[in-house]
Structure formats: structure tokens, C-alpha cells
Amino acid sequence: MKPENKKSRPLFFFYLLVAYVFVQFFWWTYLLVDLNNEVYTLRERLSISEAFDNAEAVKTKAEYESKLSKRRWMIAGEGSVFVLLMVFGIARVRNTFKKESDLNLRQRNFLLSITHELKSPIASAKLQLETILKRDLEKEKQKELLQNALNDTERLNKLVENILLATRIDNRNFELHLESVNLSDFLEEIIEQSKMIFSPSQKIEKIITKGVEAKIDMTAFPSIVINLLENAIKYSLPNALIKIMLIQEQNKVFLRVIDEGSGIPDEEKERVFEKFYRVGNEDVRKTKGTGLGLYIVKYLVLKHNGNISIKNNSPKGSVFEIAF
């Protein structure tokens, strides 16, 4: 599939509008000049007819006033159209610049975040491996440090996979291969894998209906669960409860990730799925992230013929619900 240039479409319509305005301007100018010539001709005829023939003068005067009125309406109409087009153009350009400015800000924040997200696991893994090399440690301690270094490597691998996946999504060259899978067992495996990656301090409770079958892509589906779980861990306090539910109701399968975090304002529930978008003010935000996780989640859910929604948890937190 060929990549689609989203920015070229608004620019194409903008240039088309500009071309249309110029064509209209020259056409109206031509009509107005032609009408002015008729008005001047009638004015001369009126001057002559008033001197010789009163009947001809009345007829010419009526025609002259009609053309003069028409000219006024044309000037007023042309002016109104240009004022409206100018207001529309200014508003359009302003919105475009605002969107570009917001996107540039998000991209800048993404670069700052990705630098930190890449350096942290690398520095941590390096420190633990150097500790093993330089010190004579007990076997259990070595094993613990090696496991921590492996976890940091997994975090780094997941981050790189998210960046590559987002790039493939933007280039429109990412396709799924759906196959019927026992989703209950597969979800159990993904949760255990995610625990190894994140080592969460929160309590994760699983409510998984046994024997749920669904058509999924076994390579892409873990990204949905791991990104939602990472989001819940990131915005929940230590020792908080995170629930992962898988239930089947008639011909639909529901996957819910429920946290007790700070929640998401209603006006931002749709925007969190935008690329690079993160809730809150970047200058005072404490949690780290790239703004790619939920963007990838929504894309993959839609590719699995599902939909995702965000609801408020009671008394606090969010519920991410996916329906297949």
C-alpha cells in the first residue's frame, strides 16, 4: 500500500481555493469594467438626449439608473465575497499554524522523552553488568543483577519496537494476519511477560474467562495489552490495584484494563490516542513516556475489527475497554 501524504491534501485544497479566488477576481473585474463602460456611454447619451428629446431622456435615464444600481450591487457583492474569503483564509491559516505548532511541540517533547527513556535502561543495565564484573558476588546476587539487566533490556526492546511500529503505521505498510487463538491462555502469557518487563509495584488482578476464542494477530496483539498495562502502571500509585478482565458476552469479546490512577478528563479522552499526545502539562509532568503507546493501541484495535473506549473508574482512575 502506498503511503498517504496527509499534509498534501489540505495544501492542495488551499491552493485550489487561491486559484479560484484569482479567477473570480479577474472575471468580476472584467464584468465591472464592462459595466462601467456601459454606464459612461449611457451618461453621455443622457446628456445629449436631455438637450433635445425629453422622452428619450426619460428612457435613457431609467436605463442609466438601472445600470448604476447594478454596478453598486456588483461592487458590494464582490467586496462581501472577498471579505468572507479573507476571513476564511485567515482562520484556516491560523488553524494550520496552530496544529503545526502543537505537533512540533509534541515532537520536541517526544525527543526529550525518548532520550531519557533510552538512556535509563541502558545506564541501569550497564551499571549492573559492571557490578558483576568488578565485584566477587554470591551466585544469587549475580543472578538477581543479571535478571534486572535482562528486564532493562526488555524495556529497551519494547521501546524500540514501539518506535518501529509507529513508523510502519505512518507508512501504511503494516498488515495483520488474523488467526483463531485461545485468547484466555494467550493473555495469561502476555501478562506474565509484561511483569518481567515492568516489575510493577502495583497489585495486578486477573479476571479471565476460560476458553475464550478470538481471531487475533499473535505478533501484534501483545502490543495492545502491554501498552495498556504500562499506561496503567505508569499512572497508578505504588500498591494500587490494576485489574485485567477478559469476558465474553454473546458474540463479543471484551478486554478491560482498570486502574486507580489520576484518571483522564472527558475533553482529553479522545486526544490521548493521537500521536505524541500526553495528558497534562509537559513542564510539570512527573511520569515519563513517548506518547506512542495509546496511538499504537488504537490502530491495532481497529485493525482487529474492534473499538476502544475510555470510561471513568469509581472512585478514581480509568477503564480502558476494548470490544472485539
**What pLDDT score was predicted for residue 210?**
92
Instruction: Map grid coordinates 491462555 to a residue.
Output: 185
pLDDT for res 1 = 37
Q: What pLDDT does residue 307 have?
A: 92
> Could you tell me the pTM of the whole model?
0.60
Long-range contacts from 24-31, C-beta under 8 angstroms, 24+ separation: 24/81, 25/82, 28/74, 28/78, 31/74
Using CA atoms, how far apart are residues 231 and 259, in angstroms rounded to an integer?
9
Handedness of CA 163, 168, 172, 176 (dihedral sign): negative
* Predicted local confidence at residue 183, as pLDDT: 92
- Ordered per-residue pLDDT tens for the chain, 324 residues: 333 444 455 566 667 766 776 776 677 666 666 666 666 676 666 565 655 556 666 566 666 667 666 666 766 666 677 777 777 777 877 877 777 777 776 667 666 666 666 777 788 888 888 888 888 888 888 888 888 888 788 778 877 877 777 777 777 777 888 899 899 999 999 888 887 777 778 888 899 999 899 899 888 898 899 889 988 888 888 888 899 999 998 888 999 999 988 888 888 888 888 877 776 554 434 556 667 888 889 989 998 989 999 988 888 889 999 998
Question: Which is it for the CA torsion 19, 20, 25, 31, positive or negative?
Answer: positive
pLDDT given at position 256: 92
Neighbours of 151 (CB within 10 A): 19
At 312, is the secondary structure helix, strand, or coil? strand
Contact 296, 169 (CB under 8 A): yes
pLDDT at 45: 62
Residues with Cβ < 8 Å from 41, sequence gap 6 or more?
none
pLDDT at site 6: 47
Strands 179-182 and 252-258: unpaired
pLDDT at residue number 280: 56
Q: Which three cell numbers stand for residue 4?
A: 498517504
**Which are the contacts of 157, defined by CB distance < 8 A and separation ≥ 6?**
none
**pLDDT at residue 71 in the model:** 64
Which pLDDT value is given to residue 3?
39
Under 8 Å between Cβ of 204 and 195: yes
Identify the DSSP state of 2. P
**Chain mean position to CA 226:** 20
Asked if omega into 315 is within 30° of 0 (cis), the reply is yes
